[in-house]
Chain A
Amino acid sequence: MLTPSERERYDRQIMIGEIGQEGQEKLKRSRVVIAGAGGLGSLIAVYLTAAGIGMIRMIDHDQVALSNLNRQILHWEEDIGRNKVDSARKKLRSLNSGVEIEGITEIITEGNASELVNGCDVIVDAMDNLPTRYILNRCAIGKKIPFVHGAVGSFEGRVMTIIPGETACLGCMDRGPVPEEKFPVIGVAPAVIGSIQATEVIKYLLGIGKLLTNRLLVYDGLMTTFNEFTINKNPDCDQCGALMRRG
């Protein structure tokens, strides 16, 4: 049930036919993991907190650095040196004290990923490297938890939603190891992509709209274009292929 204060706070989105009071109550009962509290994670966390998700768990092992501040909008000059999840939790609690914010300062590994996402309805990919994305992808598939992928570079970004056992996954696109390099990025790119990821989370939780499944949405901020590409499930995918074969 929503409290009178919650009905007032969320009034404008409760007015949306696809949400309504029932949808708002669903959001309140929902639990979301955001893996990464950087550029993407900041945006995603702000909008999911504002929307009234019941519990948000942020995972990031890193501390705030000056070079983060061009894009990681949850972190401010006063936070430099603090754990990112502590910095994020402080701002998010001020934004919406009705949302439970968990912060975990750990490196995500094959060994701990399953435990870190336990009890959550959706995993959101806000990582800054491909190997950890693949760990989360495998974990999501193994636990049958939807996974909203996002990535950025320069003025560009991409989003795809993965429903384990039903749709193409990150592994279906994997071409092998790529060199890890410091990536260029301006804050407006994760702003656009993080907003779309947060939208996908809300749509999935409410069962509304059309998810970006089997569809890679690619944003080019320099040309101001969105392109959509079809991603087919790969039966030989070493991450989801076995699940597909089991049906």
Chain B
Amino acid sequence: MPVKVHIHTTHRQFTDGLEVVPVEGNTVGQCLSHLVKQFPGMEKALFAKKDKLLNIVEVYVNHTTAHPNELIKPVKDGDEIHLLVMLAGG
């Protein structure tokens, strides 16, 4: 059973509208690399540079924050990753 990545609304333009994308990997970083391999537009939506997420991107694994050092957090089959975007408006 693959890891499921839940895509934020603003990023679905890069995933053909998909809300959930199955990926494979043993860490968050590997899963996001697989996501980018499937949907290259996600790279600029998530990463400031290689192995550095944009500051506005939040990662949760099984509904728990993966911050800090998100990319090295381990995941296993069946886990769920949520990608959120920090909000600033009031």
Across the A-B interface, how many residue pairs have beta carbons closer than 8 Å?
Answer: 86
In contact, A128 and B90 (Cβ under 8 angstroms): yes
B56 within 8 A of A: yes
Residues of A within 8 A of B88 (CB): 128-130, 133, 151, 153, 178, 180, 183
The answer to whether A152 and B87 touch across the interface, beta carbons within 8 angstroms, is yes
Does A234 make an interface contact (CB < 8 A)?
Answer: yes
Chain A residues contacting B85 (CB-CB under 8 Å) are 153
Q: Are B56 and A178 in contact (CB under 8 A)?
A: yes
| A130 → chain B closest CB, angstroms | 5
Contact of B9 among A39, A127, A156, A231 (CB under 8 A): A156
> B67 near A: Cβ within 8 Å?
yes
Q: B interface, by DSSP: helix, strand, loop or mixed?
A: mixed
- The count of residues in chain A whose C-beta lies closer than 8 Å to any C-beta of chain B is 44
A178-B55, A222-B9, A229-B60 as given contacts; A151 in contact with B87, CB under 8 Å? yes
Categorize the interface residue count of chain B: 20 to 34
Nearest A-chain residue to B62, judged by Cβ? A230
Question: Is A38 an interface residue when CB atoms closer than 8 A count as contact?
Answer: yes
Chain A residues with CB under 8 A of B9: 154-156, 220, 222-223
Interchain CB contact under 8 A, B90 and A151: yes
CB of B6, distance to nearest CB on chain A (Å): 9
Contact of B67 among A38, A129, A173, A180 (CB under 8 A): A173
Contact B90 A178 (CB under 8 A): no
The one of B53, B63, B89 that contacts A175, using a Cβ cutoff of 8 Å: B53
Given contacts A156-B9, A218-B84, A222-B9, contact A175 B90 (CB under 8 A): no
Residues of chain B within 8 A (CB-CB) of A128 are: 88-90
12 interchain pairs, CB-CB under 8 A: A126-B90, A128-B89, A153-B85, A158-B87, A173-B58, A177-B55, A220-B9, A229-B60, A229-B65, A229-B82, A230-B63, A230-B65
Which B positions have Cβ atoms within 8 angstroms of A? Answer: 9-10, 19, 53, 55-58, 60, 63-65, 67-68, 82, 84-90
> Besides A178-B86, A229-B63, A230-B65, 12 other CB < 8 A contacts?
A39-B89, A128-B90, A150-B90, A152-B87, A153-B85, A153-B87, A156-B87, A157-B87, A158-B87, A175-B56, A222-B9, A229-B82
